[in-house]
Amino acid sequence: MSTRSAWQLRSLAFVTALVAAAALILAACSKGEESGGEEPGGEEGETQQTVSVAPSVVEAATTAFPVLITELEAVDTAYAAGNAAEATTHFTNAQTQWETVTPAISARETSEVQLLFENLSAGLDAGTSASDVHDLVTGMVSELNADIKSQLG
């Protein structure tokens, strides 16, 4: 493995770990905000109101969620078997399911998981090792089950 490739893998793993740590910190901080109906925005004095989501949107997201998890796990399985093309197909399918889930969850959670999708995509494109892809997928599935699943009810 070249020095550049090794550096890219370490960078990808580091960024993924940072995103996961930030997600855990944000989740812990948001526990106290759940009863307030508002969460602080990015600028001073700005707040985001909790948005009501149509039941049909929540139902579609709830249906898509387990398919999303299954597709991500299939990415890991296919990539570990050396089938990058199949892994890419499952990744595309997972992204499609993710697009169905996003309208039903908070913008903050959407952006956190989107970063994980981008990291996984970059890893697949770069030919990352199967163990690194496994770590990325495991982190994504944990994040999705810990934070997103609870928002869907």
Picking from 112, 130, 119, 153, the residue whose alpha carbon sits closest to that of residue 27 is 112
pTM for this model (two decimals): 0.69
15 vs 122, residue with greater confidence: 122
Position 53 confidence tier, pLDDT thresholds 50, 70, 90:
confident
92 pLDDT above the threshold of 70:
yes
Q: What are phi and psi of 128, to 5 degrees?
A: -55, 155
Assigned CATH for 56-153: 1.20.120
Does residue 71 have a pLDDT over 70?
Answer: yes
Answer whether 18's CB lies under 8 Å from 141's CB. Answer: no
Separation CA 116–CA 77 (nearest Å): 18
Q: Does position 20 have pLDDT exceeding 70, yes or no?
A: no
**Start-to-end Cα distance in the chain:** 45
Mean pLDDT to the nearest integer, 114-125: 96
**What are the sequence ranges of the domains in the chain?**
56-153
So what's the pLDDT on residue 82? 97
